[in-house]
Amino acid sequence: MKKLDFTHSRAQRLYDDYLKRISRMARQLPEADQQELLMEFNSHIYEGIQAHPEAGELETLVDVLDHLGAPEEVLKPLVADKKLAQATRTFHPVHIAKALALNLSNGLIYFVFSLLYLFLFAGVFMIGAKLFNPEEVGMYTSNGSFVLLGKVSSETLAQTGYEEILGPAFIPVILGAMVLFYIIITLLLKLKQRLKRR
């Protein structure tokens, strides 16, 4: 991208600072998306300045940047959408987690996605706990009703009469649930992206 040159030093500093703020906001995106955002904003700045050649360079730039808005506010939803598109394209868990974090402020649906993703990662910890403490970690029932999925001390088991029902199948069941959660989250994200395009 070819940066604009200004004769007024304050205008140049203001312009350079604005582009740095855009770069800082877009750094979570792939390089191609970062460059696309920079070029798009650069183009808007150039067109805005060309539309008012009679005004002073600094005043025109201030007006154009004011009209575009602060990158921290303007780019937040745009970066979140691009990160979400990357996550649904790659199925990469880190990209999905970042997309959810960026989009959490966009509404309740992302809160639900975040909870599902939290359950997914909780499964990893439960499997680890089962490997290190197989006697106290599991799925427990009492009188045929589900009570707990997690860790119960030996003393509590003796007092309450809770019964662990999965036994050695605990890890495969949790792994299966994790895979299912992961697929559901990713497919729901893809569905949301499709609905948003319409």
pTM greater than 0.75: no
CA distance 167 to 144: 16
Give the model confidence (pLDDT) of 30-75 as tens digits. 888 889 889 999 999 999 988 887 788 889 999 999 999 888 878 8
Give the model confidence (pLDDT) of 109-167 as tens digits. 777 778 888 888 899 999 999 999 998 999 999 888 999 999 999 898 888 889 999 98
pLDDT value of position 25: 87
For the segment 172-190, the average pLDDT, to the nearest whole number, is 89
Give the model confidence (pLDDT) of 77-104 as tens digits. 777 777 777 777 777 777 777 776 666 6
Give the model confidence (pLDDT) of 39-48 as tens digits. 999 999 999 9
pLDDT value of position 197: 56
Domain positions in the chain are 9-75, 121-190+193-197
